[in-house]
Amino acid sequence: MTPTDDAPTLAVIGGGVIGSMCALAAADTGWHVDIYDAGPEYRAAEVAGGMLGSLGEGHPGESALLALSAESTALWPRWIERLGDPGIRTADDSLFVATTAADGEYLRQLADFVWSEQIGADRLTTLTAREARAQEKALTTRVHSGYLARGEGALDNGLLLSRLRAALAAAGVHWHRIRIDAIDEVPADQVLVAAGMGTAQLLPDITLIPMKGEILRLAPNRHSVPPPTHVVRGRVDGRNVYLVPRADRLVVGATQYEAAGPDDHLPQAGGVADLLADATELMPGLRTYDLVESAAGIRPCSADGMPIIERRDERTLVAAGHGRNGIVLAPITAARFADLLAG
């Protein structure tokens, strides 16, 4: 929708996945929108695995997060259509694999929780070792047991961000590459703070915990086994590792530990070593892949694990604290923000 000259104005601070999708939702309903963004080096969405994990993120005790994630995942197809590129989705299903009896017990507890919550439970199927290996031929012979989560795939977050940027430009949204130090600096009728970890500096009464994570990008070459077609989520000797297929890459992720500070952006050797060890244990053929990139980002986590999507005062709204699930939760965040904006 093209805004009229007297349309209300919205400033969005932060052009990550959350700020961009909220900005587009507002522009689609006739708002004049400006985005103020400090740049990609501060953006968790650049390094994310891109998994749409609701069942896979269904940890006991997080019932509300599981329900919200499932609701949001169901909104993704409409957004992919809006962005006009089906290539954004790179996998449809997730295969969960345990390598030992203890790992199998860990996965069983996650599955039991999902079944007990009855959210998408019919999409989660138990697999024997043989059935799991039939799904992905290059898996280790050490497979103990597994689960198939249908409809729980992944997006290429790099492609998503570039398609969002194009859609924002087409909708007339102006992008300003600038760090904002105070909300008053931005001229607009309404302001959305969606600055990931930067939100806590702009709204000091919001506490966010910086959870750092490393990921790797691997590329097959002519000596390599083909990449998996599912998202493969392994529990390997007590540690989690995931493999996410992309058009020409395989993303391996992700570690999780508290960051030393807001500038703790370099991958640590130990994190990279653990990811490589666990990924090649899960799928030995990955040893021939080229290691194209290692990167680290900081997940902006709220204290209770739930995203903070609310109005702060007459002029200010916030959408932040999406932790390990910002890609999953972006559509429901944009929908809730649009409702708040509409009053």
Say how far apart CA 88 and CA 20 lie, in whole Å.
Answer: 16
Near ligand FAD in 172-191, by CB under 6 A: 179-180
CB of 223 to ligand FAD, least distance (A): 28
Report the relative pairing of strands 32-37 and 9-13 from DSSP bridges: parallel
Binder among 58, 120, 213, 305 for ligand FAD (CB under 6 A): 213
Between residues 132 and 330, which has the closer beta carbon with respect to ligand FAD?
330
Question: Does the protein bind ligand FAD through residue 26 (CB under 6 A)?
Answer: no
Phi/psi region, residue 321 (left: phi>0; alpha: psi -120 to 50; beta: rest), is: left
Coil/strand/helix, residue 254: coil
Q: Count residues binding ligand FAD (CB under 6 A).
A: 43
- Cβ-proximal residues to 170 (8 Å cutoff; 6+ apart), any chain: none
Report the relative pairing of strands 250-253 and 145-149 from DSSP bridges: unpaired
Between residues 33 and 38, which has the closer beta carbon with respect to ligand FAD?
38
- Enter the tokens of residue 61: 């005790």
Per CB under 6 A, the segment of 8-16, 121-129, 266-274, 280-288 that binds ligand FAD is 8-16
Rounded to 5 degrees, what angle do the CA atoms 7, 13, 15 make?
Answer: 100
- Cβ-proximal residues to 34 (8 Å cutoff; 6+ apart), any chain: 9, 10, 11, 12, 173, 174, 175, 176, 186, 188
CB of 256 to ligand FAD, least distance (A): 8
Question: Does the protein bind ligand FAD through residue 15 (CB under 6 A)?
Answer: yes
Look-up: residue for tokens 């508290």? 258
CB of 66 to ligand FAD, least distance (A): 13
Between residues 215 and 286, which has the closer beta carbon with respect to ligand FAD?
215
Phi/psi region, residue 39 (left: phi>0; alpha: psi -120 to 50; beta: rest), is: left
CA 137 to chain centre: 27
One-letter amino acid of 166:
A
- Enter the tokens of residue 101: 């009896």
Binder among 297, 318, 332, 336 for ligand FAD (CB under 6 A): 297
Between residues 129 and 334, which has the closer beta carbon with respect to ligand FAD?
334
CB of 4 to ligand FAD, least distance (A): 28
Near ligand FAD in 34-63, by CB under 6 A: 36-39, 42-45, 47-51
Question: Does the protein bind ligand FAD through residue 89 (CB under 6 A)?
Answer: no
Residues 299-318: x/- map of binding to ligand FAD (CB under 6 A)? xx------------------
For ligand FAD, the binding residues (CB under 6 A) are 13-19, 36-39, 42-45, 47-51, 179-180, 194-196, 198, 202, 213, 215, 253-254, 297-300, 320, 322-328
